[in-house]
Amino acid sequence: MAEQTLVLIKPDGLKKSLTGNILTRLSETKLEIAAAKAVCVTRELAGEHYRHMKDKPFFNELLDYLMGNLHNRKKVLALVYHGDNAIKLVRDICGDTNPESADPTSIRGSYGRITTKGLFENIIHASSSPEEAEREIKLWFKPEELVYRIYPVETEEKVTQTLVWA
Ligand code: ADP
C-alpha cells in the first residue's frame, strides 16, 4: 500500500556530514521524495513533534537535541518519502531507537551514540505508523511544500501584504 513517512536528519547527522550518505541509503528503498527542506527547529515545534515523550526524564534534553543546541547546528533536514510500504522500509534502514542495540549496518547502528547523560543520539527520525506520519507531515510541512496531493486540502482566503519597490 502506498504510504508516506516523515524523515528528519537530526543535528548530529548534519554535524557529522552524513546527509549524502543517509540519502544514498534511503534511495535503496526506491521511494519517491515528496518534499524536502532545512528547518530551524523551535522549542514549540520540537515539543509538539515529541509530545508522546513529555513524561520522560530526558524530555528537555531531547528538545535541546532536536533544536541543535547539543551540536551547535540549529537545523534539521526534513523530508517526506512516498511509496509502497514506506514506513517499514525506512524504519528498517534506520534501525532500533537505541543505537547500541540497532543492527550495526543500519544508520543508527553505524553512526548513533548514547551521550554521557544517557540520551540516544540516533542521527535520524522516521515515522512509526501511518497515523503518526500524517500528524508529523502536517506539523512540519505546508500543503504547497509537497509535490504530491497526499492528504486532502482546502483553500483559505487570506489578505497578505508584500513589500515592493517604491
Ligand atoms: P523513535 O525515534 O525510534 O521513533 P521514540 O519516539 O520512542 O523512538 O523516541 C524519540 C527519541 O527519543 C529517540 O529517537 C531518541 O533520540 C530518544 N530516546 C527514546 N528512548 C530513549 C531512552 N530510553 N533513552 C534515551 N533517549 C531515548
Cα 82 to ligand 1 centre (Å): 23
Mutate to test the pocket of ligand 1, among 7, 54, 97 (most ligand atoms within 8 A of CB): 97
Q: Does some domain include residue 165? A: no
Q: Is 58 a pocket residue for ligand 1 (Cβ < 6 Å)?
A: yes
CATH code, 45: 3.30.70.141
CA-closest candidate to residue 14, choices 60, 66, 64, 77: 77
**35: confidence class by pLDDT, cuts 50, 70, 90:** very high
Could you tell me if residue 73 is inside a domain?
yes
158 has a pLDDT exceeding 90? no
Residue 162 lies in a domain: no
Q: What is the DSSP string of 38-65?
A: EE---HHHHHHHTGGGTTSTTHHHHHHH
Q: Which residue has the cell 516523515?
A: 6
Residue 122 belongs to what domain range?
2-145
Q: Which residues pair with 78 in a beta bridge?
A: 8, 37
Query: Is 95 part of any domain?
Result: yes
Q: Kindly report the pTM of this predicted structure.
A: 0.95
Q: Are 11 and 125 in contact, with CB atoms under 8 Å apart?
A: no
* Dihedral angle sign, alpha carbons of residues 43, 49, 53, 58: negative
Is the minimum distance from the CB of 120 to ligand 1 under 6 angstroms? yes
The tally of domains found in the chain comes to 1
Domain contains 150: no
Residue-wise pLDDT tens digits, 101-152: 999 999 999 999 999 999 999 999 999 999 999 999 999 999 999 999 999 9
122 lines ligand 1 (CB under 6 A): yes
**Which residue has the CA at smallest separation from atom 1 of ligand 1?**
97
Whether 122 is covered by a domain: the verdict is yes
